[in-house]
Structures are given as structure tokens and as C-alpha cells.
Structure 1
Amino acid sequence: MNRRFDTVVIGGGIVGASAAYYLAKAGYTVVLVEKGRISAEQSRRGLGIIGTQRRDPLEMPLMLDSVEIWRGLENELGDTVGWKEEGQVSLFSNERGRRRSEAFLAVAKQFGLTTQLLEPNEVVGLLPYAQPQGRLGALYTPADGSADQELATTAFARAAARHGAVIWENTAARSIDVWGEVVCGIDTERGRLGCQNIVVAAGCWTSLLLKPFGIAHPSFWVRGSVGRYPVVPYETKLAVSCDEYAYLQEADGRLTLAAVAAPVHDLMLHSRLKLLRLHQLKQNKIKLELGKPMVRSLMGEFNDFTTHRTLDPAPDVTGLKRAAAAFQAEHPVIGSIQYQRSWAGYMDYTPDGLPIIEAVAEPRGLFVAAGFGRHGFGIAPAVGRSISDLITKGAIDRDLTPFSSRRFTL
């Protein structure tokens, strides 16, 4: 098979699906290739919080664009995405947390956000079912929201298909083809696809795709863990986070709880310790583990796109237990209950926590949207639209310079 499209999008997460949608809507012929299933990896394994809180100011313009898109997305796509604009609360327990929160208020004011700094008594008023222990206050943003990660990603993919995009699941992109200094196609499991533009939105697999061109995608894998509680005896519509955990309540009353205190990097052959050290100097929060992933990488399991259709790492049981203990201590009304199930996902992190969104200088026609860490879901619609504008218009009205990979080499 040898078919030709204007653009090939590699990666079926929400960034790739939204890029495919906006490109197809603009009249471009598009094929999205995904080695596994749409929304099977990073885009469905978190909580789905869509928030402006504590975002880097450089990300804020894109994030605000995304919030506006989310507000009208169900009408635009004609599909359900589970959007809820119920607000977000971020608790803090020490003076460092207060300083960070106060510093963000200046950012919030700069961008016209409705974020407030709450005192402990105000926190209790907002979370009456909780008994916060040692909390000094919280940031509260009424306009933040959440959405269902799987519903939203598949809705983008379906909408792209309605506009004529071709969606190929269980089809790995094996390599990118270049003629001279310009991309000309990709080799897939179904055959070669010719194209003028390629969007690499492949999450953790981005580095492997770009390596043949001498492009060192500056990222490393981080494993985040999530568990689901049964129905709890109270209702909250807020997204709540702190240093130990973050949670959202599902429509059916169950609670989804993420362990946020110490995400894990599994040491493997492709671990980039220099990048890890840079990140740890800035964040000081990532835990290193040596175990089965190293053995699997020694066997070459992560060198081929078809070996793992879906990355499905084991959850961090210790981290989830600590998160549950901290949550239960502050929510005694629920008593002692166990997770119904738990899961984990690998996230594509950069050392400074900002994504890479760019048109690659060489080969021309290659675009990258990756390195989103745990914050990619909320910002994804604006990123997908920006990538589409870069391809269809040659420019966008937002400055993407802060997201260039060149920031790590200058």
C-alpha cells in the first residue's frame, strides 16, 4: 500500500487527535496512525483535571485558549467529553506552599484569573466533609474544570474522521522518510504513506522516532499511579490536590485518587540521567527505581514500536498506600476502604516541565508536540489547533518560542 496525504499525525493521544481534527476541519487530507488504541496510554491514565493553577506563565496563554475551547467543545464536536467547570482547590501545609501560592496570585492577576487565596477556615467552608490536618490554606480557582480523558480523546478522533481524516489504530509508524531536507512520508505496518507534513505527538515514543535524525528529544519517562475508590458517602464537584494526593469524584460517586508525592522514573537503558538531574534540581520530587523495566529494556522490548502496543506499567503500590492514608486521615467519614482497582501510566517529561511544540528546522515539514508531563490533557486542544495553524497558515498568533527544544542547547 502506498497512499498519499497532506499530513500524517503519529500518536493517538489527545494532542494527536486534536491536531488531526483541526487539520481535517481546515480541509487537509489527514491520516492518524496509532500503534495501539486511541487514548490508550498517557491521555487516559490521569485524573482529567483542566486547570490554570500554578501553571508556568509561559504556558498560560495556551492554557487560557484551551479553557475557552473546552467550554464549547461538546457543541463543536457534537459529542460528549465530560466537561465540568466546577473549580479546583490546591491545599498547602507549609510556608513554602504559601509562598508559591502567593506568587501565583500575581500570575493569576496578570492573566485575569479568578484565583483566590483561602485561609484555613475558608477551606473548611469549601470542603465541609474534610478535616484538613495542618493545612495553612489553599488556592481556589472557580473557573477550572475537568473532563473525561477517554471520552474527550475519542471524541476528537471521531470528529476528525467525520471531517475526512483516516484513523489507523494498531498501526505502528516504523520510521519517517526524508527526501533531501524535507519529509516525504512514513513507513507503517500497513505500508508506506506519502505526505508533505508529519506531526509527531507520540508521547514517550517521541525520542525513538526522532533519534534517526540526530534529534535528541529532551525528555524522560515518569510513572504516575492512580487508584479508584468505591462510592464515598459525600459529594464533591471540585478537583482537589495537595502535596500527597489529588482527586476527582466521578458522576457515579466513585473517587479517583492520584499519588502525586513522588512520581517514579524506572531506570532503563534509555534513561537520560543528565536530564533527570536537571529536573531533580528544579523539582526534587522524582523517585528512581531499578526493577523489571530495566530487564525488559536490556532485552530490547522498548526499541520497537510493535513490542508494546500499550505501555501498561505496574502502579506504585507504596505511593498509592501513602496517598490513601493521607486522604483517609483528612476524610474520616469514609473510614478505611480499599482501592477497587489501580493503574499507572508513563508520562513524557522535560527537565523544565514545559512541553516541546515546534516546527523542526530540518527536516522541513516535521512538527513535534510532546513532553507534556502530567499537564498535557488540559492544554491539548490549544496545542492541536496551534500545530494545525502552523501547517495550514505557516504561523500562529501565539509565540511558541518558549516551547522550542533549542532552549536546552542554547
Structure 2
Amino acid sequence: MTLPSSSKIIIIGGGIIGCSTAYHLAQMGQDVLLLEKAQLTSGSTWHAAGLVGQLRSSANITQLLGYSIDLYNKLEAETGLATGWKMNGGLRLACNQERWTEVQRQATTAHSFGLDMQLLTPQEAQDLWPLMDIGDVVGAAFLPTDGQASPSDITQALAKGARAKGAQLLENTPVTEILTEKGEITGVRTPQGDIACEKLVLCCGQWTRTLAKSIGVTVPLVSVEHQYMITEAFGVPSDLPTLRDPDRLTYYKEEVGGLVMGGYEPNGIPWAQNGIPDPFDFQLLESNFDHFEQLVELALPRVPALETTGIKELINGPESFTPDGNFILGEAPEMANVFVGAGFNAFGIASGGGAGMALAEWVAKGEPPYDLWPVDIRRFGRPHTDEDWVRARTMEAYGKHYTMAWPSEEHSSGRPCRRSPLYGALQNSGAVFGEKLGWERPNWFADAGEDAHDIYTFDRPNWHAPVGREHKAAREAAVLFDQTSFAKFILKGPDAEAALSWIAANRVDKPVGSIIYTQMLNDHGGIECDLTCVRTAQDEYYIVTGTGFATHDFNWISRNIPEGMNAQLVDVTSSNAVLSLFGPKAREILEQCTRDDVSHDNFAFGQARTIGIAGCPVLALRITYVGELGWELHLPTEYALTVFNALHDAGAPHGLRNAGYRAIETLRLEKGYRAWSSDIGPDHTPDEAGLGWAVKMKSNIPFKGREAVQAQRDSGVKKIMATFTCDGDVILSGRETIYRNGERCGWLSSAGFGHTLGKSIGMGYVRSDEAIDKEHVLSGEYELEVATRRVKAEVTLAPLYDPKMAKVKS
């Protein structure tokens, strides 16, 4: 085939993700060319195990996997090629009480997302999977719509479907160089010649990181050896469900009358640490029976027949894994029109159909079909540019693939990485740190005699009382949070106000010294950013957002500055430390540290000004995320310890305490403050989230998303954010199902314990097929499904805690 000179869209990589993306782009009528260095599936697709499960902790990722199944159900009829797809269901075992609690919570999550996950007795599970011994089984979960597939066959069917709609797929056409000009993508170089393109899609599996790095794009994935064995046939029925046995770290599926058995050992083996050999096509690694023996020892008691069944083959094929166990999709923040679909953590077949659909829409329309934050490439940041750090974290994530998914569990590898200048002082004060985007952040503080580490459980954890202590201090005295990890930007230039006015939903044409809380919306009115802007000069704004959103929000703001406007965005995160002083005694403490007037009359809420503390210039923001009087104090990092000590010296007589991020969470839930990525995001509008008051619709000022907000106000909202409370010792952790008048209407987006209330609190959207209003929400009788058990819940649309009234709603 003659090499084309150009194509609007070029996809590199002919595995299931590349072929699925080509298939969906071709379905949309796009001009697309796929280039594969060898033959289709020759990377890691051909040796994938092929289990297809759906349930994930995110509703939208679950939806994406469900799309895969819908596609696989019809693909054979559409293309005439067999796919090996069988909807034979999927079983998951629990062999101890803690795992059974996890499975019950997963079943509730499934119900929240509309999946029929059934809880079974051990005998019922054995009836479905007669090969197993159930002596240690406590219970099981069954998803009838899970299944298995032949990875190569599905990929070839997708390729045929893509070609039928006009896509070109060229094999034996390696890309040797990505061509750019002045920081923009222009095409690719192959041994047969150059091909120009407008958009480039990297679906190269474990080769993606190196290829992307050549143009300055970070794709944090590494290769890990992954083994599974294929037995001789021994009469295994073809309709046997897939089986996951996480307590024994193993999985099973039927294969030509025998079994495939693989798993995720705690001591995985990284591969190709010094580069992938070339060529490496349709190749496997040497079988490592010694390493695999640990999984065999776990499997034999479960499937005794394996003792006497011959092993046909032990497959050892490298796969790409990521630091958080989620795959990577989206447009690279470093370069426009370069897209990535890679790092599928050995569930690329389950994800393939949906990921290809989502990536194709992202490429063609400039946005995903729905919020895909858990897999968005912009969730990564500075630590992920270092391959050694990525490998250390990824190997930990690999080893945890089947371990218990504890609430609030932290990773331990690659730490400490990024440290506030107060790290040592906080450590000496009993801080128990968590990590976010490489930053060490105090989660809670242990007093003398307390274990200064997390002990994970599905019950009340060991930090419950210490967090309650910090929570109480915030409500009754004062607390100090180290929030240095906040992402901080400066938008500066003659057109800074005009640019920000277009991007921000709230008014930013305020006097110097004003704080503006605002969302930034997409064209559908969905919330892309939720942040604070401080007008520090006529031509300058200081922008503060969440630690984990540094890459995402910087990318959103910078790429939405209207063309031709003179405004520059600079990341100053590492320049400034942040100390947040909150509580009813915050003003008394601050007054003792500064000569500046911080009285309410002179320093009102929503104002920012520079004050002096112990010789240090401090930008003080009168704002709160915990529902109490207080200030965020932003200051150059070299002054942090001096200011920290001054505040503690002044605060000691007033009961000032250090406090951590888990107290921030409990405090904000009582106040009803929303959190981006859980309660609000691209799929939620301000009006749905109860944030319509922060949108400048009464002005005639144009802004991105305005038309969508107006259209929704004309037609009404179909979901409304509400807050729920439960009496008794009910533990809420998020994703519990919401029932209104006995009908499922949503799920909790975030949850925790309100120490002032003495109750569990959850936030979530009450949803309907028709337009609804506040009266609809408040008139319902509510229950929450918690680990498959329904409990009565009270609903409110107002904050549970009101500091002005010094009372709570019970």
C-alpha cells in the first residue's frame, strides 16, 4: 500500500486501544490513519488474559466499561468476525469478614451505578463454579453481565469495522520520529517517508512513555512482567463464569476446556528498566516458574483439580502499568492536539471498547463524552516526570491490585518526595502524613502515647478520635493547617481581567484586594475548575486551587485565554507556603502577631491584603473552607517556619492546635462545601450543585458556558446536590445508594463523620428523569443503602453547621 502524504488524524499503535479509537473515529466520519510498527495486536494485546469486568469506584469509568460490553455484544454481527466474547458473568470471592464487608460495599456501589451485582452464599457460588473448594469462603458477589473475550479476535474485528468506514490501517510501518514545529504537532516520520497530520494519538502501550517523552509529553507508565498459566483441557464447561479470588491474589477463566489462572503477586518484577528491546513483537519473556509458584500455592487449595492437571503453557508477557492503577486518556497538557490512550494495567480488553469511544470523541470534539477525571492524563504532575519515582509507585500499585481497598488508604512508596518547609516541625508535632501529587501533607496529629500511623479498617479508624479533637478545636478555639501544597498561579498582563472574565463564571472585575470564589465552566455548563482568585493588581490575579488539580487547572486556564489577549499564566506553587488559621479565636491570635488592623470592620470576609508577621510579608486571604472565621496566609517559603512559630507562640494561650486534611474534610462536610472531582465536576453545573449564586448571569458579561447555564435555567435541572445524615453508628464512605420514596435516585459523592453533629454525613445528587426543584428534594423520604443494608436518612439543602448561630442542625 502506498504511504499517504497526510491524514487529519494519525494513531500510532495497533493494539485494542488503537484499533478501537480508529473504529470510533471512522464511525464519526473522521479522516484517520493507524500506523502499527509490526502487525496488529503484536504488542501486549495478543497475550492479554481477556477477562472483562465492569465495576469500578467511579460511575463514569463503570459506564465506560459497560460500553465495552455493549460493543462486544454486537461487534461479531456487525463485522462477521468472531470475537470470542462470552457474557458468562463474573464471580468475586470473600474469604474473611473484612473482605466480605468490602464486597458488600462494592455491591452497593454497583447498585448505585445501575449494575445487578448479586450477593451469594458460598454454596451458591460453588453451584456457579463447581471446580472450587469453598471451605474458607464467607460469601461471593456475582455480576451476570461480566464476561471474557479473545483479545486478538476483538481487535481484528474492530480493525475490520474501522476499515469498512474508511480508516486506513497500515502494518509494518514504525514511527521513528514525531515531527513538530514551534511546539506544534506537524506529522510523523517513518522509514517509508513523512506523513503530515493535524492530530496525533499515541496508543502504543508500553512504548508510549518513551515516544511521548521525545516531544516533552509525560506519560507515567512502566512495564511489569505479568504471568498466567494455561492448563490442559479437563472438562471445564465453556459457560463457566470468570472468577476473581482477591484474598488468594488470583483470577481464573475458562479456556478451551481448561483454565487460565493468573494473579497479582506482592513482589512484581519490573521489565525493560533500561529500554524495551527492538524488535519485540509477538514475543514473550522466559517463563518464571519460581516466581509464579507463590500464586500456584494460593490457587491449589481453591481449585484442587489443578494438582493433577497438566500445564500447557506459562505465559510471561510484559504489560504497562501506572502509578495509581488507572489507565491514561486525554489530550497532553504539554502539547495541543497530541492525545494519549495507554497504561491499561492489564484490563485493556475490558476497557478497550469504551476507552476507544471516549478517546475518539476527545480527539474529534476536543472534549470527552463525560467526566473521566480518574483516568485523565492531567491528574499527574511533577513527580511523574521521574521514571524511577513512577516505577517505585507503580510496583506498589501492582502489588495492591487484589489487596483490600481500604477507605483513605495511602501509598508508601516514593516518599517523602515534595515537602513543605514545615515538614520537620510538623513531624515533631506528631503529624501523620498523607501524600497528594508527591506532596507530604499532614492528615492528622497524634498526641503523646497514640500510634502515629494509620490503621486501616471499614469500622471507625484509629484517627477518628484525633480528627475529632482537631475538629472540636476548629469549632471552639483555633487550628492551623499547613496547606503549602495548594496549586498557585499568577495570571498577569494588560488583558488579565478580560481573559479571566471570559474563563470564570463569577465576576472578576472587582477592586484590587478582592477575593473571587468562582467556577470555570465548559460549553455544557459543567464545572471544569473550582477555585479562588485574588485581584492583587489591576493587571494581575493570584489563583489558588487544589493540590491534585495543578496540571488540570493550569491547562484549562491557559488554553482558554482568548486568542490575541495579552495575559500570561505562571505556576508559582513552589514559591509560596500557605498556613491556614481558622476558628473563633483566629482573630485574637492574629492580632497578637501583626500590627496591621485585622478587625472585621477593616478586614472583611472576601478581602485580601498584605500584612506583616514577624518581619515577613504575608498575603492574608479572609476566606474559609471549614465554616469558621479565619485566614489563608500565603507567604514566601523561606519565611514559613518563622510565621508558624509566631502563630503558635501567640495561639498557645487560646488553645491553638495543628490540624490535618482529614479534619478539613469533616469540617467542610458539616458546612456543605463542595469538593471538585467528587461532588462537582464537568458533568455537574453550578445550578445543580447549589452554586448558581456564584455565576454572573445578572450581568451582560459574556463567559464560557453562559449559554448552557441559561438554557438549563430555562428548562430546569434534573439533579440537585443535597446533604444527608444518618443516626446511629452508620459508617458512610461514599458511593452509597440514595433512595427517595423507595426508588433509587442517586449515590453519595462524598461522605464522612461530622464531629460537631455526632453523625455520619453524605453529599450526593438527587436525580430524576424530569426537571425537579428544591421542594421535590425536601418532600421525599430517604434511605441510604450502606453495604447492601438500607438505613433511614434525613435530607437538607442548607449547611448543617452555622457558625453565626453557633449551633448545628440535628
Q: Which TM class, normalised by the smaller chain length?
A: 0.7 to 0.9
Query: What is the CA–CA distance in structure 2 between the aligned matches of 1:353 and 1:334, rounded to whole Å?
Result: 30
Map 1:11-30 onto structure 2 (within 5 A): 11-30=13-32
Instruction: Name the CA shift for 1:34/1:122 in 2 (closer, same or farther; >3 Å).
Output: same
Tell me the alpha carbon deviations over residues 67-86 of structure 1, each in whole angstroms, 9 at most, x when there is no partner: 22222222233321111111
1:334, CA displacement in angstroms? 5.5
Choose the corresponding residue for 1:256, options 255, 260, 263. 260
Residues 41, 346 of structure 1: 8 Å contact kept: no
Map 1:331-350; keep pairs closer than 5 Å.
331-333=303-305, 335-350=307-322
State whether structure 2 residue 248 is matched by structure 1 residue 238: no
Structure 2 residue 134 is the aligned partner of structure 1 residue 132: yes
Report the equivalent of 1:352: 324
Report the Cα offset of residue 14 of structure 1: 0.3
Can you list the C-alpha shifts for 1:230-270, whole angstroms capped at 9, x where unaligned?
111342521112133211112x312222233346232654x
C-alpha contact (below 8 Å) 2:159/2:169 kept by paired residues:
yes
Counterpart of 2:156 (choices 142, 149, 154) is 154
Structure 2 residue 64 is matched with structure 1 residue 59: no
Q: 1:28 to 1:396 in 2, by over 3 A?
A: same
CA distance in 1, matches of 2:106, 2:263: 23
Bigger Cα displacement from structure 2, 322-331 vs 353-362: 322-331
Give 1:27 shift. Answer: 2.4
How many residue pairs align between the two structures? 377
Tell me whether 1:406 sits opposite 2:409 in the alignment: no
**CA distance in 1: counterparts of 2:158 and 2:71, whole angstroms:** 12
In the TM superposition, residue 370 of structure 1 has moved relative to its aligned partner by 0.9
Offset at residue 174 of structure 1 (A):
1.3
1:127-166 Cα offsets, whole Å, 9 max, x none, are: 2332224122222111111111110011111222232322
Distance 1:135 1:229 in 2: 24
Q: Check whether the contact 2:362–2:369 (CA below 8 A) recurs between aligned residues.
A: no
* Residue equivalent to 1:384: 356
The residue identity in structure 1 corresponding to 2:185 is V
Q: CA RMSD in A?
A: 2.2
- 2:299 matched to 1:327? yes
SS at match of 2:103: helix
Check the 8 A contact 1:47/1:247 in 2, yes or no. Answer: no
Question: Take 2:58 and 2:285, find their aligned partners in 1: how far apart are those partners?
Answer: 29
**Residues of 1 paired with 2:160 and 2:262: CA distance?**
29
- Give the equivalent residue in structure 1 for 2:178: 176
The answer as to whether partners of 1:123 and 1:138 remain within 8 angstroms in 2 is yes
Q: Share of identical aligned residues, percent?
A: 26
Answer whether contact 1:118 1:140 (CA < 8 A) is retained. Answer: yes
Contact 1:224 1:263 in 2 (8 A): no
Equivalent residue, structure 2, for 1:227: 229
Describe the shift of the 1:52–1:263 C-alpha distance in structure 2 as closer, same or farther (beyond 3 A): farther
Contact 1:204/1:221 (<8 A) preserved: yes
- Specify the SS of the correspondent of 1:378: helix
Q: Which moved more, 1:178-187 or 1:105-114?
A: 178-187
Structure exhibiting the larger radius of gyration computed from Cα positions: 2
- Rate the CA distance shift 1:149–1:268 in 2: closer, same or farther, 3 A: closer
Question: Which residue of structure 1 lines up, in the alignment, with residue 252 of structure 2?
Answer: 247
Letter of the 1:103 partner, please give it.
Answer: R
**More deviation, 153-162/393-402:** 393-402
Partner of 2:492: none
Which residue identity is paired with 1:308? F
Q: How far is the alpha carbon of 1:53 from its aligned partner?
A: 3.8
Give secondary structure in 2 for the equivalent of 1:183. Answer: strand
The alignment partner of 1:114 has SS state of coil
Q: Which residue in the other structure is 1:367 paired with?
A: 339
Tell me what 2:801 maps to. none
Alpha-carbon distance in structure 1 between the residues aligned to 2:311 and 2:40: 26
> Secondary structure in 2 aligned to 1:373?
coil
Residue 361 of structure 1 deviates from its aligned partner by 3.3
Gaps of 5+ in 2: 382-549, 551-810
Contact 1:70 1:83 in 2 (8 A): yes
Q: Note the C-alpha offset of 1:378.
A: 0.9
Corresponding letter in the other structure for 2:249? E
| C-alpha deviation, 1:123, in angstroms | 2.0
Other-structure match for 2:367 = 395
- Judge conservation of contact 1:218–1:351 (CA < 8 Å) in 2: yes
Q: Could you tell me how far 1:18 is from its partner in structure 2? A: 0.7
Change in CA separation of 1:174 and 1:30 when aligned onto 2, cut-off 3 Å: same
For residues 309 and 346 of structure 1, what CA distance do their matches in structure 2 show? 12
Matched, 1:105 2:110: no
CA distance in 2, matches of 1:255, 1:35: 32
Report what 1:217 is aligned to: 219
Q: Is the 8 A contact 2:224 2:319 kept in 1?
A: yes
Matched-pair contact (CA < 8 Å) for 2:217–2:335: no
Q: Secondary structure at the match of 2:132?
A: coil
Q: Secondary structure at the match of 2:232?
A: strand
Q: 2:94 pairs with 85, 92, 95, which one?
A: 92
The AA in structure 2 aligned to 1:121 is: Q
5+ residue gaps, structure 1: 270-296
Deviates more, 1:191-200 or 1:397-406: 397-406
Give yes or no for contact 2:209–2:218 (8 Å, CA) kept in 1: yes
Q: Which moved more, 1:106-115 or 1:390-399?
A: 390-399
Corresponding position of 2:582: none
The 3-state SS of whatever aligns with 2:37 is coil
Q: Which amino acid aligns with 1:320?
A: F
Instruction: State the match for 1:283 in structure 2.
Output: none
Tell me the distance in 2 between the aligned counterparts of 1:48 and 1:392: 29
CA distance in structure 2 between the partners assigned to 1:153 and 1:318 by the alignment: 33
Q: Is the 8 A contact 2:236 2:259 kept in 1?
A: no
Is contact 2:175-2:189 (8 Å) kept? Answer: yes
Distance in structure 2 (CA, Å) of the matches to 1:159 and 1:25 = 9
CA distance in 2, matches of 1:331, 1:141: 21
Deviation readout 1:53-73 (Å, 9 max, x if unpaired): 455545212112222222222
SS at structure 1 position matched to 2:287:
coil
**Letter of the aligned partner of 1:18 in structure 2?**
S
1:308 aligns with 2:308: no
Displacement, 1:31?
A: 1.8
DSSP-derived class of the 1:341 partner = strand
- 2:117 and 2:260 map into 1 onto residues whose CA distance is 24
Instruction: For residue 243 of structure 2, give the secondary structure of its aligned residue in structure 1.
Output: strand
- The more displaced of 229-238 and 78-87 is 229-238
More helix by share: 1
CA shift, 1:187, in A, is: 0.9
Give the 3-state SS of the residue equivalent to 1:374 in structure 2: coil
- How far apart, in 1, do the equivalents of 2:330 and 2:294 lie? 38
1:265 aligned to 2:242? no
Is 1:143 matched up with 2:148?
no
Contact preservation (8 Å) 2:225, 2:271: no
| TM-superposition CA deviations, 1:268-308 (whole Å, max 9, x none) | 54xxxxxxxxxxxxxxxxxxxxxxxxxxx3xxx63x7x433
Secondary structure of residue in 2 paired with 1:222: strand
Task: Tell me the distance in 2 between the aligned counterparts of 1:204 and 1:171.
Answer: 18
| Other structure's SS at 1:261 match | coil
Is the Cα–Cα contact under 8 Å of residues 225 and 317 in structure 2 kept in the other structure?
Answer: yes
| Partners of 1:178 and 1:363 within 8 A in 2 | no
SS in 1 for 2:346: helix
What CA distance in whole angstroms lies between the structure 1 residues aligned with 2:216 and 2:283?
25
In structure 2, relative to structure 1, the CA distance for the partners of 1:222 and 1:335 (3 Å cut) is closer
